[in-house]
A = this chain, B = another copy of it.
């Protein structure tokens, strides 16, 4: 049973790596967002709206794993600041599709710029091929995690 205990140990190490990884990335997100004058969640919303095509509020809430109402309020804040516009769906007027305004697009790009710069900076001393292999493995890992049905909708 030595093999099994070894596996358990590996999984615990994996868990630890995830803890560190997501905490550090969380910090990066927080920093970049606040630097641009919005909260982390608000920048998440901008990101999701940008990615998604004609996203509705409920879809957004599912993506963020937040309640309907909470999401509605966050969106409200972004609409007030004129980063997001609510458009009634032409086919079904119950739906509200969310789009970025020009101002919102600009802000989102600013945040993205900050984050990618930080990430680039992290990897600046890494050789090209190491970088490539890392990206490959992380891509595969992400796919595995995305597919595992934990709850809510995985981010596309």
Residues of B within 8 A of A19 (CB): 25, 47, 155
Check if B116 sits within 8 Å of A15, measured CB to CB: yes
Asked if A36 lies at the interface with its beta carbon under 8 angstroms from chain B, I say no
5 contacts between A and B (CB under 8 A): A10-B131, A17-B135, A19-B47, A24-B148, A28-B150
As for how many copies of this chain the complex holds, the number is: 2
Q: Is the CB of B123 within 8 A of A134?
A: no
State which size class the interface on A falls in. 35 or more
Most buried by B among A126, A137, A141, A144: A141
**Main SS of the interface on chain A?**
helix
Asked if A1 CB lies within 8 Å of chain B CBs, one says no
Which residues of chain A from 118 to 156 have a CB within 8 Å of any chain B CB? 118-123, 126, 130-131, 133-142, 144-146, 148, 150-152, 154-155
